[in-house]
Amino acid sequence: MDAAEAAAGDAPTQSPGDAPGARGIRRKVDDLGRVVIPSSIRHSVGIREGDTVEFAVEGDRVVLERAVDKCLFCGGSERLTSYRERAVCWSCAAALRALDRERTGEI
């Protein structure tokens, strides 16, 4: 348990609905909406201090993932460039340039 976890005052606990042997770790949300991610979980998914994470809602669950740059349009993560300050792959960027040329009549 690291210092932040000790300050949170929560120890690993068995979640009531978990199967035998499965472990869950409970944390309290503070008055600013913050939650400490246990170091064992951070290490297992490669989240380090300063990393950006993404939150999503899937049904009744909140999913937290280490943020990975991906194309705004196709979701690809290779050969990324910037388009209007957003990550876009080269093939989608080429398609955007073609649309711009078509729209402006520069074929």
Domain that holds residue 45: 3-66
**Residues 35 and 75 reside in one and the same domain:** no
Query: 3-class DSSP state for residue 1?
Result: coil
Whether the pLDDT of residue 17 is over 70: the answer is no
- Predicted TM-score (pTM) of the model is 0.49
**Residues 8 and 58 reside in one and the same domain:** yes
Give a three-class secondary structure readout of 31-65.
Answer: CCCCCCCCHHHHHHHCCCCCCCEEEEEECCEEEEE
**Residues 56 and 75 reside in one and the same domain:** no
**Residues 60 and 93 reside in one and the same domain:** no
**Residues 51 and 84 reside in one and the same domain:** no
- Model pLDDT for residues 47-101, shown as the tens digit of each residue: 999 988 989 999 999 999 888 889 999 999 899 998 888 889 999 999 998 998 8
**Residues 23 and 41 reside in one and the same domain:** yes
**62: which 2 tokens?**
């909140």
**Residues 42 and 73 reside in one and the same domain:** no
**Structural domain count of the chain:** 2
